[in-house]
Amino acid sequence: MMAGAARLEDRLGPLEPSYKSRGEAQVGRLVDRYGIPFFYEQALLVHDRGQYRVWHPDFTLSTYGGLIIEYAGMPDVPEYRDGIRHKHHVYQANRIPAAFIYPADLHGQQWPQRVLHRLQYAAGYEPENYRVPAGPEE
């Protein structure tokens, strides 16, 4: 390597997205460790309140039938909770599969496997067909 030349890794920058919260980072790292490709805050066109709008859901899993993951980090705040309900309704009305992950989902024994099963279920996998890829034990 030539003196003063930047390494490829330094020129590419971080491979992990700049997550907006610790909970989003946990979810992103979980799906990444299980080898599930995802897009972070990818634009999505939805029909909402009689208009087409562009939303940026937290995660989009293209290999899970376009499953959307929304991390709902403040479910105890009434206005935020109303927003979560509205998003859920809009995703259903647009026939977009979605899973909402809450802070309590990211704790306890074997939480990664439980969250993975919820994602598989939300994507339409039947419980007997669950495939749990080799992943971390936390």
The predicted structure's pLDDT at residue 16: 74
DSSP 109: T
The predicted structure's pLDDT at residue 138: 41
The predicted structure's pLDDT at residue 9: 60
Quickly tell me which residue has 């859920």 as its tokens: 88
- For 20-25, the CB contacts below 8 A with 24+ separation are 21/71, 21/73, 23/71, 23/73, 23/101, 23/103, 23/106, 24/58, 24/71, 24/73
Task: Average pLDDT across each block of 10 residues of the chain; the chain has 138 residues. List them in order.
Answer: 62 72 95 93 97 98 94 93 96 96 93 93 69 49
The predicted structure's pLDDT at residue 114: 93
The predicted structure's pLDDT at residue 127: 52
DSSP bridge partners of 54: 45
The predicted structure's pLDDT at residue 89: 97
Nearest alpha carbon to residue 32 among 91, 115, 130: 115
